[in-house]
């Protein structure tokens, strides 16, 4: 399924007070994930279940960070997506605007914030993953005594560049019984569903630490969290430099 891009809008806003500290470098980037795979999906899209299954399968890989973004623009077809949010739809549109191709559809996968393909196309996805180098920036997520600590370190690969550090609140696998629409009568499992994606700060190289209360996970109905270090292109999401999930 597809739709035309209408108008871009930024969906990310810094909503946390954070503490920045200089730190020693964390583990080498070669030990981190090779790629971030973001799936834009919908419960109302009959083409999406194979992509949802593929994301569930590859989410077990240690060299990938996978995230699912349920979108809301197919709700008018007869089933209101129970996991969707306008912010997810806005992120997908912003990607299309940054690329300049206006391609907004489901299921759509975006690899490392740049290359996109049909989310159920295993061969195309595997080819894309095989062609990308490991993410160059180190990211670690730690939790202790009610504090969530994010550590980012490495060299900024873009001269004079600055990246946004994004925190995703992620739900554990969610099984949904679809009552109406194109997938009526199906139970579909959604993996690493993004409940909210928020900017926690900026990074331009070196080592920094960001601290937030663990209680925010509970508030967002999230069992996991992921971190993306992402460049922006004209205020829209661009190349992903580093990532982690736990």
pLDDT band at residue 1 using 50, 70 and 90 as cut-offs: low
193-198-203-208 Cα dihedral, nearest 10 degrees: -80
67 belongs to a structural domain: yes
Helices and strands in the chain: count of H runs, count of E runs: 4, 15
Please check the confidence at residue 27 and state whether its pLDDT lies above 70.
no
> Angle at the Cα of 54 (from 51 to 59), degrees rounded to 5?
125
* CA distance linking residue 110 with residue 129, whole number of Å: 11
**68 in Cβ contact with 52 (< 8 Å):** yes
> Angle at the Cα of 82 (from 14 to 215), degrees rounded to 5?
40
* CA distance linking residue 113 with residue 128, whole number of Å: 12
Question: Three-state DSSP class for 15?
Answer: coil
Q: How many CB atoms lie within 10 A of CB 211?
A: 16
65 belongs to a structural domain: yes
Host domain of residue 90: 12-245
DSSP string, 176-212: EE--SSTTTT-EEEE-SEEEEEEEEEEE-SEEEEEEE
The structural domain count of the chain equals: 1
Tens-place pLDDT, residues 70-107? 999 999 988 999 999 999 999 999 999 999 998 999 99
5 belongs to a structural domain: no
7 belongs to a structural domain: no
Please check the confidence at residue 18 and state whether its pLDDT lies above 60.
no
pLDDT above 90: percentage of residues in the chain:
76
* CA distance linking residue 199 with residue 112, whole number of Å: 17
The tokens for 88 are 């997810």
55 belongs to a structural domain: yes
The tokens for 211 are 């601290």
Query: Distance from CA of residue 42 to its chain's centroid?
Result: 15
Average pLDDT over residues 127-144: 94
Q: How many CB atoms lie within 10 A of CB 89?
A: 22
The model's pTM is 0.86
Query: Distance from CA of residue 206 to its chain's centroid?
Result: 23
Which pLDDT score, from 0 to 100, does residue 176 have?
97
Tens-place pLDDT, residues 183-241? 999 999 999 999 999 999 999 999 999 999 988 888 888 899 999 999 998 889 999 99
1 belongs to a structural domain: no
Segment (H or E) for 39: strand 35-41
4 belongs to a structural domain: no
- β-pairing, 187-190 with 174-177? antiparallel
Mention every residue, 6+ apart, whose C-beta is less than 8 A from residue 225.
Answer: 141, 148, 167, 168, 169, 170, 217, 245, 246
169 belongs to a structural domain: yes
CATH of the domain at 179: 3.40.30.10
């Amino acid at each position: 399924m597809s739709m035309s891009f209408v108008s871009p809008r930024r969906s990310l806003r810094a909503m946390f007070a954070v503490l920045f500290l200089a730190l020693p470098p964390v583990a080498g980037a070669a030990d981190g994930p090779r790629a971030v795979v973001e799936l834009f999906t919908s419960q109302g899209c009959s083409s999406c279940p194979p992509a949802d299954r593929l994301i569930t399968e590859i989410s077990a890989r240690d060299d990938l960070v996978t995230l699912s973004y349920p979108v809301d623009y197919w709700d008018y077809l007869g089933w209101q997506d129970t996991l969707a949010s306008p912010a997810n739809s806005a992120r997908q549109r912003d990607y299309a605007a940054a690329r300049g191709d206006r391609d907004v559809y489901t299921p759509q996968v975006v690899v490392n914030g740049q290359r996109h393909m049909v989310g159920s196309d295993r061969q195309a996805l595997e080819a894309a993953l095989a062609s990308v180098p490991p993410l160059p920036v180190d990211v670690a997520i730690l939790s202790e005594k009610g504090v969530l600590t994010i550590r980012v370190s490495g060299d900024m690969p873009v001269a004079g560049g600055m990246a946004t550090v994004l925190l995703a609140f992620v739900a554990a696998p969610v099984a949904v019984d679809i009552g109406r629409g194109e997938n009526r009568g199906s139970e579909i499992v959604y993996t690493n569903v993004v409940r909210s994606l928020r900017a926690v700060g900026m990074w331009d190289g070196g080592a920094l630490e960001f601290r937030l209360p663990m209680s925010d996970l509970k508030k967002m109905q999230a069992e996991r969290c992921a971190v993306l270090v992402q460049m922006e292109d004209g205020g829209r999401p661009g190349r992903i430099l580093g990532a982690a999930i736990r």
